[in-house]
Structure 1
Amino acid sequence: MLASAPTKSEQKTPSFNNLNDLASSQVGGKIIFATDEWFAAADNLLKVEDAIFKEGEVTDYGMWMDGWETRRRRSEGHDWCVIQLGVKGMISGIDVDTSYFCGNYAPRCSIQAANLDTVYKGRDRDRTGSSASVEEYKKIQELKSEDWEYIVSLTDLQPGFQTSSHNYFTCHSNKTFSHIRLNIYPDGGIARLRVFGKASPCWDKVTDKQLIDLLSIRNGGTCTGYSRYDRGHPKNLIKYGRSQCMTDGWEIYPKASRPTIVQERRSDGKLYTSGSEWCIFQLGHTAIVSMVEIDTNHFKGNFPYTCKVEGCLQDKDSSNLQWKLLVPETRLKGHNQMFIDLQKIGTSGIGVISHVRLTISPEGGISRFRIWGNKVKTLSAKL
């Protein structure tokens, strides 16, 4: 099913932006073919960081650009590339980001997708200044990518000015995809390609005895809500591996209205705090939780004072969530990986859950959040 063309309201920030980027190089996304990469290599499309611009910088091939840019086409056809997603899944939306490509952006694009079993190796060198060889064309033709399903039809793109660079497309297919083909017409540049969606793990291959991170991107965990964020979206918390830097986590800046003098509460010796912040996640599968992991890696002077974790079971018809305590208010440390055994703290008996809520007080940064447990079959097991 084709995606909807971007609308004025979607340009602001569509809801699918809260989902995981299945194509990011950080989760294993790879370019496996590109027709041409004269000005800038296609691998740049999958970078985690937003595109940047370096005023006046040039290379042997032209102006330096942080994205994928092909030479002006002087032969039949159009340019295209094939991307192997880092995580197979259902695609909810796409952002074709043309940041800083203003006069040289690709004026039109379309996107096709397929679900393949074959896993391909990434490229082993920078392809800037090159185009695909005859051998590479022969190899990629085996995939017959020109026949893949269109999830974005041929659509005009907007130039890479700050107010127009994000070209959002909502996808309506409920199929699982592993590869996409990005077509640009006829040539030009695109800075980033974000493919937002939810992983489609094969839960039949996971036994109820296996301890698994139920929030992991690969296992279908998703962020469904949050109070706010300033630097780093809360969906970063469920990436696999430890964080690479502070922006690779969830951070909230302190409020100017915080107390002039920080004081202790006389009853328990803890500090008074100026409010709290929260985020909610849906597990990849209903489960019984045995351990919670809170990691403040890289947050040394700006970690939250305390955190609390709650869980609930939400059926499709549930309208009133009943949150139960998994981890009571707990002091945190900076630049520290904490594992909390629920059996040891006496909260392991809350039963099957489908969602978790992390609350931090008063604000600060957390890099990773993991829920370790065992899957449990219920009527709404695969949510």
Structure 2
Amino acid sequence: MCTESSLDFLNFNELASKKNGGKILFATDDWFAEAENLLKDNEPLWKEGIYTSFGKWMDGWETRRKRIPGHDWAIISLKHPCVIKGFCIDTAYFTGNYAPKISIQAAKLDESYDKLFPLRHGKAGTAASSDVMDQVNNLQTDEWTTIIPMSNLGAGYAETRKNYFNCPYDDAWTHLRLNIYPDGGIARIRVYGSIICANNVPDIYEKIDLISRDNGGVCVKYSNAHYGHPRNLIIRENSNSMADGWETARRLDRPPILNVDHRGILQIPGNEWAIFRLGNIGLISTIILDTTHFKGNCPDNATIKGILIPPNQQDQHLDTNEDWKSILPVTKLYPHKSHVYNLNEMNWCGPVSHIKIIINPDGGLSRLRIWGYIHP
């Protein structure tokens, strides 16, 4: 287990939550609360004094106190093949009833594998029958690769609820087996990493969103994510609200009185930025900067830069690298609008492996699209 301050993987895409396509295929026991709660998009909730006919209402997965041999476990199906960089196991509000230990196993399987599991109902007060257990045991999920060995969890208090684990494997996985020892509760599981493009040999003549997380794009560094992480910018689906975008805090070095130049661009020294690694080296044809939902807090202007880094070179020093080239010059932005820029408005189109977006002075964007072609 590791501490949050030392974790680079938290910048990566979240892969298992409900909105990101994760799905519970099986759980041994759902007595107090069903395993589907593990994948909820929202933060865990506490409802004081609320009980169901099965016991205290809990916002997570909680099994009964085990009185038979074995331990409890659940199977999670990911939407895409993914390289996993790390996990957060959150035990929020499970204080005297949290699972004391976990391990995680993984496998890369065909999409049809999900159909081998019995139909999942996911209701509190239930457990897998002996017939269902026999059916699932025949799938031999206990023989999947162990990517997180048996490890201790902290209780669900504010200072101990979030348990972080680095994943040391570079393989692609599609399914996870979450083991809890021997029983108890977990509020959420968050899985961080990058999606492996479904098309392993991309068509160089097909125009794609080079930065989309579904095509392997990932955020590797950023300056500020006070209200929303920049990884939200590269979600394929359009945003639903300001909560579903990248939004920074207001910079404290803003001048007391603001001025603009002859183009209407604010003259402010500070800015915020985010760096993304593309799924494939690409040539850019269209850029879309979308401020939808950001009506009183969109940035004044934005700049896009690019760089070509060899595949074997690390991302650590990209924020100080002096080889960035201007792709889209300083451009005025407007609230609640999709801004589209084509080749004739760009300084350079690549080939590029990384994109840096700079917003001035601060604020929020809902989506960033970098349309183009795979570099041959």
TM-score, normalised to structure 2's length?
0.92
CA distance in 2 between counterparts of 1:350 and 1:22 reads 30
CA shift for structure 1 position 126: 4.6
Q: Match of 1:26?
A: 19
Aligned to 2:288: 293
Aligned length: 367
Deviation for aligned residue 1:13: 5.0
Q: Tell me which residue corresponds to 1:44.
A: 37
CA shift, 1:50, in A, is: 1.9
Gaps (5+ residues) in structure 1? 1-5, 378-383
1 CA distance for matches of 2:217 and 2:24?
25
Report the CA distance shift for 1:139/1:302 in structure 2 as closer, same or farther (over 3 A). farther
Q: Please state whether the residue corresponding to 2:233 is helix, strand or coil.
A: helix
Aligned to 1:310: 305
Q: Are the aligned partners of 2:87 and 2:164 in contact in 1 as well (CA < 8 Å)?
A: yes
Identity %: 42
Q: Cα 1:111–1:49, aligned 2, differ >3 Å: closer, same or farther?
A: same
- State the alpha-carbon separation in 2 of the partners of residues 99 and 350 from structure 1: 46
Residue type at the aligned position of 1:198 = S
In structure 1, C-alpha distance between the alignment counterparts of 2:30 and 2:200, rounded to whole Å: 41
251, 257, 263: which one aligns with 1:255: 251
Matched with 2:359 is 360
- 1:27–1:87 CA contact under 8 A, matched in 2: no
1:78 deviates by 1.0
* TM-score of the pair, normalised by structure 1: 0.90
* Equivalent pair of 2:101/2:180 in contact (CA under 8 Å): yes
Q: CA deviation at 1:159?
A: 0.5
Alignment-derived partner of residue 272 in structure 2: 277
Q: Which residue of 2 aligns with 1:345?
A: 345
Task: Output the amino acid matched with 2:288.
Answer: E
Cα RMSD (Å) of the superposition? 2.0
1:105 corresponds to which residue?
Answer: 98
1:175-205, CA deviations, whole angstroms, 9 ceiling, x for partnerless residues?
Answer: 1110010010111000111111122224444
Deviation at 1:48, TM superposition (A): 2.1
Quick one: structure 1 residues 39 and 292, their matched pair in 2 at CA, closer, same or farther if it must change by over 3 Å?
same
Q: Which amino acid aligns with 1:193?
A: I
Question: In structure 2, which of residues 214, 217, 222 is the aligned counterpart of residue 221 of structure 1?
Answer: 217
Equivalent-residue separation in structure 2 for 1:244 and 1:269 (angstroms): 30
1:329 aligns with 2:330: yes
Moved more, 194-203 or 155-164: 194-203
Choose the corresponding residue for 1:232, options 214, 228, 233: 228
Amino acid of the structure 2 residue aligned with 1:32: L
Matches within 5 A, 1:366-377: 366-377=365-376
Q: CA deviation at 1:298?
A: 1.7
- CA deviation digits over 1:17-72, x for unaligned, max 9? 11111212112110000011111111111122221222222222222211111111
Q: What amino acid sits opposite 1:162 in the alignment? A: A
- Per the alignment, residue 188 of structure 2 pairs with 192
Deviation at 1:350, TM superposition (A): 3.7
Q: CA deviation at 1:351?
A: 2.8
Q: CA deviation at 1:256?
A: 4.1
